[in-house]
């Protein structure tokens, strides 16, 4: 039986994390390792996905990640994740990463990432609630996610 789950607002999945860059996170240039930020992004996105679907969700793909500016030791890293679109068993999660200068409070966008998570029940993909998009911004995010997904599926098809 295919039970329709009640829709959930994108606000349900909103997830904020704050980290501080310590010397053990840094490379020889004193900026953070890409892999460290990717780990923070994956955690933030997993929490957002799980808040939306109310289940365990696993990372299926990283659809895009842009490193826009370096992050240095001592800076405060602010991550904000949200579900942009919900499909059948998968969801696209966006994570935006800013740094905050502790002296001035000035914020700079350093990374943007889009990830696909799949909800799991008894070791198998299971349905996720639809996303209840209302505002023009939520609708635009959903539309962009639909386009990224269709490009990814097309790439998978053409790669066999
Ligand atoms: C992701 C995973 C659960 C998909 O399982 P599967 O049996 O291939 O599932 P299906 O083919 O039925 O696809 C289920 C959904 O996953 C999506 N999916 C599967 N593989 C994907 C991929 N590589 N990229 C993006 N989405 C993918 C499908 O599009 C489908 O979405 P939809 O239901 O919304 O249309 C499985 O491949 C897996 O367990 N991968 C390892 C996950 C993992 O260990 N992550 C890192 C640690 S958290």
- The residue nearest atom 18 of ligand 1, judged by CA position, is 60
105 Cα–ligand 1 center, Å: 40
Residue 85 inside a domain? The answer is yes
The pLDDT > 90 percentage for the chain reads 83
Arithmetic mean of pLDDT over the chain: 94
Work out how many domains the chain is built from and give that number. 1
CA distance 127 to 143: 20
Enter the tokens of residue 134: 């209302």
Q: Tell me whether residue 5 is in a domain.
A: no
Mean pLDDT within 115-126: 97
pLDDT for 1 equals: 45
**CATH number (domain holding residue 130):** 3.10.129.10
Domain-embedded: residue 64:
yes
CA distance 22 to 74: 6
Instruction: Identify whether 58 is part of a domain.
Output: yes
pLDDT above 70 for 24: yes
Residue 160 Cα, ligand 1 centroid: separation in angstroms?
16
**Residues 64/123, Cβ–Cβ less than 8 Å:** no
Give CA–CA dist 90/109, Å, rounded: 27
Evaluate whether 86 touches 129 at the Cβ level (below 8 Å). Answer: yes
52 located within any domain: yes
Taking 60 as the threshold, does the pLDDT of residue 16 lie above it? Answer: yes
Domain assignment of residue 4, yes or no: no
Q: What is the mean pLDDT of residues 136-155?
A: 94
In a domain, 17, yes or no: yes
Q: Quote the domain boundaries for residue 146.
A: 10-158
Q: Does residue 1 lie in a domain region? A: no
CB atoms within 10 A of CB 114: 21
């Amino acid at each position: 039986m295919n039970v329709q789950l009640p829709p959930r607002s994108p606000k349900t999945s909103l997830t904020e994390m704050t980290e501080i860059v310590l010397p053990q996170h840094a490379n020889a240039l004193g900026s953070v390792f890409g892999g460290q930020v990717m780990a923070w992004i994956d955690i933030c996105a997993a929490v957002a996905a799980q808040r939306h679907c109310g289940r365990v969700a696993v990372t299926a793909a990283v659809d895009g990640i842009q490193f826009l500016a370096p992050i240095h030791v001592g800076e405060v890293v602010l991550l904000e994740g949200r579900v942009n679109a919900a499909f059948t068993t998968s969801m696209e999660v966006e994570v935006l990463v800013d740094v905050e200068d502790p002296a001035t409070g000035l914020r700079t966008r350093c990374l943007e990432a889009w990830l696909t998570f799949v909800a799991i029940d008894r070791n198998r993909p299971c349905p996720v609630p639809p996303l209840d998009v209302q505002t023009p911004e939520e609708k635009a995010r959903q539309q962009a996610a639909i386009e990224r997904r269709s490009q990814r599926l097309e790439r998978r098809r053409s790669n066999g």
